[in-house]
Structure 1
């Protein structure tokens, strides 16, 4: 592969100059090797700079999100910027606590001595961001990496080109431009970055691309965090408040046009309440969308949604139209689609919602468990016993009971998948530890120095050691 040349802003000249990916990574590596990012003051300045970036750059970022994803300004701020700012503010507040060494008990055999875990940065982290939340999923992992004292190379998605350009402009103005760099470009640039070898790679995207990232990282034995996706189920039981459940599921499906990795992908509803629930659901979707088709990121993704809908079977009870040329799709409810159809096998990532009838909660759980392990799962039930049963039985990255997606708004909850929905966790302290080396330390004095631990092991030594085993 030829060496990729990418535009970057040099701090000395403030002008665009072609700098190779190799040179970029080497320069950032040299900054980390200098030791300056380990300093607690440096880390705090980066986190405070991140907060200012999000506050002072809010309008530019919101306009860029509108241009790329056709969201309203309110949605752009609410879905992308608010949670990211909260993440950075939490890190500023908790940083001193996170970096403190953690004492652990020293067993008798190691006494006298003192044992602790010391957190140190891993080095240079690569963050590969997706297009669906192009600010939050770029900057939130960076918050964790910077709190841990690392240098960062950010690769935004080329699909959201306006956001990528704004990030490339803002990041060097608010963060250390020698330690934190933005590298723009397409798949070739991503491949060139992965070939360099980093100390941690954080990727958000599809399972298929996640596998490619993991293969490339394996060449350097680079640890990875993969935030992927999957089919997130919403289970509605007979004990649920059906109107509230329908509104909350509908909200999760229209937010960002369903282009969210934790959006409810399909609903499993108890047969005894199916008709009432579907009525509430279709009404909520009509209201939340103003009866209009929702924007899809581009024509290719709209065409994919049209293909899922065309092959699904079942009964379309709402919507059913995807306008590929305009990259828009109506909120659509499909009742009991063919279980073997692509819409029930692939992550939908759009405003299409299959509703499947089940006879019981156990049948719903069995159906969830037959598929790949989801990134998130949702249960709507007023019955505490059903809630506990669901929590015990469903293997999933996260669970929200009686709502959808809101666990992402709790910055101290770990976020991540299991199996094909991902590996690793971040948010809050979980992210700090992801980007840290937890160094095990035992400190011993020179005296006493009991001879019992040294060979040869015979006589009284042998008896004493055997007695302690």
Structure 2
């Protein structure tokens, strides 16, 4: 169906009212209809790979195989996972009762929240738009999707898919810049799912508070990586090369800075150079920076570090015309440098050495809680210490980034790096209201034995309950 784009505040309000009406109808819809919609999304993605590849190449020069591995596969897996588990997720969960509630039956019923707004970023324009959409549809909601204005070619393909599979009153895509997001945020959505920076996340949360809308905030931050003295350096070099340089470092869970044990630094750097060259030495395997603004931001961040004393250990030939920044590794970084203050979100990796794990833990804990924390180690003791002594959205041992695509694992941050969880069952729950249901028997109940007036017998019963029930 060829549906015209909604573009004004009045049209936004009219569209939202139609979504509210549809949301009420969807609450009565069957699971089979939800599964059919999810299956339609999955099949459309598989059948239109060439259009999706072309869109991402035009927006980010992203290689076709990288799109398949980092976006299409996780989306297809997410849809399959939701389809196969939807009956289990929606089945009311019985709740055990204590003796004080003898005679009652209680359970938790999952119902759609209703109307959902998804505001997605530019770095993984398919995955971070359609992943939350799959969760919202699985939970039975209507959705208005606001993708980033920085990826117009990919947005066009998403819009085509949505208009072919859904009525406008159920799912719609609205494009535009920040003012469009601001207008949408004035509407009383039942749930808002935002992926982006902590700074904008605070704006979204403030807007949601006006309507007491629930939110999922998938934010970011500086995710630390540690290579200790027991790590397998070949393994760590290969995994970190992919995790840091894929999508040119424009990944919310990418390693932001690296601590290497002093005794392993030179050996690791040699292997890291080799792994980086092997994977990304050819331009066709490497993504570009999204636009001139972000290219200049990264260029200034690197210049700031060098001017303040950082040394460049690995670099390549950059191309401002092609928005191409080759992988950069720097050392001798300090806390006064922008590269250590701000989330890098690009192909620059600061490396620091350490002698004692205590200093690394203290460094991490002195900063906002990261979205992810990575430790490459064979030491059970070090793994236990990181688990017990740090806080992060995710903690991954001997790999990086991979956890984000795991459909069974909740994905999300903590405090400054995010609120709420996504993916799989956690994503379904994010867009669902877990309603408490209790059914009481008629007539004599435990509760009726302790109602006023309080006779001597009732007082004894109350004391008995306090002690034993």
Flag whether TM exceeds 0.5 (same fold): yes
The one of 206, 211, 218 aligned to 2:202: 211
The one of 349, 357, 368 aligned to 1:353: 349
Match of 1:62 in 2: 53
- The 8 Å contact of residues 53 and 171 in structure 1, kept in 2 or not, is answered as no
Offset, 1:294: 5.3
Match of 1:311 in 2: 304
- Matches for 1:138-287 after TM superposition, within 5 Å: 138-287=129-278
- The 8 Å contact of residues 128 and 154 in structure 1, kept in 2 or not, is answered as yes
- The 8 Å contact of residues 61 and 287 in structure 2, kept in 1 or not, is answered as no
How has the CA–CA distance of structure 1 residues 413 and 133 changed in structure 2, closer, same or farther, with 3 Å as cutoff? same
Match of 2:395 in 1: 399
Hey, what's the Cα distance between the residues in 2 that align with 1:336 and 1:322?
22
Offset, 1:53: 1.9
- Matches for 1:339-418 after TM superposition, within 5 Å: 339-418=335-414
CA deviations on 1:296-333 (whole Å, 9 max, x unpaired) are 11111011111111111321111176544432212111
The one of 292, 295, 298 aligned to 1:299: 292
Offset, 1:38: 3.8
The one of 334, 346, 350 aligned to 2:330: 334
- The 8 Å contact of residues 26 and 141 in structure 2, kept in 1 or not, is answered as no
Match of 2:423 in 1: 427
Offset, 1:224: 0.7
**Which structure 2 residue ranges, 5 or more long, are not aligned?**
none
Match of 1:452 in 2: 449
Offset, 1:35: 3.9
**More deviation in 40-49 or 285-294?**
285-294
How has the CA–CA distance of structure 1 residues 321 and 233 changed in structure 2, closer, same or farther, with 3 Å as cutoff? farther
Q: Secondary structure at the match of 1:328?
A: coil
Hey, what's the Cα distance between the residues in 2 that align with 1:310 and 1:117?
56
CA deviations on 1:119-159 (whole Å, 9 max, x unpaired) are 10111010101000000100111111111111111111110
**More deviation in 273-282 or 249-258?**
273-282
Hey, what's the Cα distance between the residues in 1 that align with 2:7 and 2:423?
34
Match of 1:110 in 2: 101
How has the CA–CA distance of structure 1 residues 280 and 449 changed in structure 2, closer, same or farther, with 3 Å as cutoff? closer
Hey, what's the Cα distance between the residues in 1 that align with 2:222 and 2:20?
38
Match of 1:443 in 2: 439
Hey, what's the Cα distance between the residues in 1 that align with 2:170 and 2:322?
41
Match of 2:30 in 1: 39
- Greater relative contact order (Cα < 8 A, sep 6+): 2
Question: RMSD in angstroms over aligned alpha carbons?
Answer: 1.7
Offset, 1:195: 0.5
Offset, 1:57: 2.1
Hey, what's the Cα distance between the residues in 2 that align with 1:274 and 1:35?
57
Hey, what's the Cα distance between the residues in 2 that align with 1:445 and 1:170?
50
CA deviations on 1:93-142 (whole Å, 9 max, x unpaired) are 00011000001111111110111111101110101010000001001111
